[in-house]
Amino acid sequence: MPEGPSVKRFQLLTAPFVGQVVAKVGGSSRQRNLKDLKAMRLQDSQASGKNLFLAFGAALEAWTMGGSPSPGPVEEEPTIQGEADRGACSLTLSQEGQEDEVSQLSPKEHSVQRKQETECSVPDAADAAGGIWKWLRFHFGLFGSIRANEFSRANKANKRGDWKDPVPRLVLNFDSGGFLVFYNCRIHWCTSPAVEPASDILSPKFHRGQALAALRQPTSICYTLLDQRYFSGLGNIIKNEILYLARIHPLSQGSLLALSDLESLLDHAVQFSTDWLHKKLAGKGLHYQIYLKEKCPLGHEVMQGTFGPRDGFKRLSWWCPQCQPLQELLEQRRLQP
């Protein structure tokens, strides 16, 4: 599943289309009222954690840079020279967290999400001429992606041996002649973007104190890291990589770890995510230290296990027993005569 850095890049891919008017709507999505986007103007694009939010307003309104006042907070996005140039460009994901297909939500989280989707299933009914924006929330699947000005093509045959191109979930054609194509994503209307900068690991407003307090809970550290309430955008790849970099076992209890270890883990979380985003924007691949590996960089055998809270989904973890010894074992060794 796309993690925070990927969704940030999706947002940057859509940003050049802000201010343009939708001329045609297509795709396989059965979400209600998507056809109403025709003749509306894309007013804003925001990313938060693993979600992308797009705002649409009446095209009859005069549009200036920044558009009309946003119902939700607008956060400055990282940019790289040349990213705003709108030529034919594409973005796809390949094997990014393949074990995380089922959206990585616990039954409790699924219940909360279903409630939110029910409450936000229909766009704001206010008159568009009054300046009210209508927001769409995109949550991407395992191989979710966005392409600009081109469609995805099959690169291998399916199980039936057919070479069928992927079917877009949504296609937005703009009056400029350009278009955006959305693949493998869930689309829902919402009244405003659910942006929480304090929990977004890529936000300048990320709250370290709140994150540290969460990490110090008497819970396996690998569970806490995937809690989107505190680490929005942090997924299984980032989890595995930063635990190795911080030399912490996935099942270590946060309450037993030294504050310095937790601060180091937090530093790695922010730095790794930021570096990954910059690599994506520069078109460079990411070299994993431990994720999907059989040996760690020091040549030790890597262990693999599936861990998760009792009432939640289980995620695959990779760790090196020598580089990342379990905290309880270290304590036992310390107490031995």
Question: Is residue 263 flagged as an active site residue?
Answer: no
Phi, psi of 9 (to 5 degrees): -70, -35
Neighbours of 187 (CB within 10 A): 18
CB-based contact 13:178 (threshold 8 Å):
no
Residue with tokens 């995510």: 273
HSE-up of 150 (CA within 13 Å, CB side)? 11
Q: Of 2, 123, 168, 250, which is the active-site residue?
A: 2
Contact 214, 224 (CB under 8 A): yes
Is residue 169 part of the annotated active site? The answer reads: no
CA atoms 193, 199, 204, 209: torsion sign = positive
Of residues 243, 248, 253, 250, the one with CA closest to residue 218? 253
Catalytic residue among 8, 41, 50, 280: 50
Amino acid at 135: W
41 is an active site residue: no
The answer to whether residue 50 is catalytic is yes
What's the CA gap between 183 and 146, in Å, rounded? 6
Give me the catalytic one of 137, 169, 239, 315. 315
C-alpha distances (whole Å) from 3 to each of 89, 116, 237, 286, 311 are: 20, 21, 8, 13, 23
Active site residues: 2-3, 50, 315
